[in-house]
Structure 1
Amino acid sequence: MDEILRTIPHRPPFLFIDEIVEVREDGATCKRTIRMEEPQFEGHYPGNPIMPGVLLCEACFQTGAIYLAKQIEKEGRSLNDVTPVLSRISDARFKQMVKPGDEITIEVTMDETVSRFFFMKAKVLKGGKPAMTIKFALAMVEGEGK
């Protein structure tokens, strides 16, 4: 958890990554265990809790931000100089429900870079099978909000 907190600015209760599994040349893989005590389950289908799709998307965005932060570190730049900002979402597809007790694996792969925009695709796996897929872009914004 400490490595995650050093790498991206997100903090509980809006941190949806538990573990960095690996950071590759072309992407990153993280894991998350969905816990019943998370606040979204008080209102998202009480009695039949389902992880909100938008929060699964956020886990993908955070995994993408981890990948980009690690690339910045490799370049010798400071993580304090940039903030990952979502700039595009497309083609989100939800294939199975994620519920408390499930462990998910988030796999993000870099597609292309255009200027300061990083286009990525991601999949959330539950039990080795896709629970969702999405394409998105992040921008690493320098100096804003610091």
Structure 2
Amino acid sequence: MRFLLTILSILLTILSISLKALFILIYPYFLFFLFQDGIPFSITEVVLVIFAIFLIYPFIIVLRSFIKEDIEQNKKALKLFLKVSLMFSLLGPTISYFVIGLPFYSQAFEFYSIIAVIAVGLSAALFFATILAIYSMKLHLKGLVKEKD
């Protein structure tokens, strides 16, 4: 039984590392994509830039976790980021829709890009939720291994 727990722990660690590496690779690409045309002027791009600024701290936490991983501290921080990402998924499109509806705002074609705001928020929330689930399983496995000793 201890052997199976060890194998499962190793698999969870590999999955955790690969998800973190994916986030580290995707975040700079997301920033590049946002700023490839220069300074954003549309409301959707402004909302996405605000979310990108918010993602700087989780990016630093994920980078730091490769050096020294404090599961409890990371878990607390990622729970907060998960909640904020879900709020962004709701509030970002709402703000965009409100601004697009203003009479002086002329970029009506931007209505379709609200879907991009929802997708970005839910993607970040899915990433944080997956990492949190892995951390919870790792903590549970540590408890099982200690019980067996």
Per the normalisation by structure 1, the TM-score is: 0.30
Structure ranking higher on relative contact order (CA contacts 8 Å, 6+ apart): 2
Point out the structure with the larger strand share: 1
Scaled by the length of structure 2, the TM-score of the pair is 0.30
Structure 1 or 2: more helix by fraction: 2
Structure whose CA Rg is larger? 2
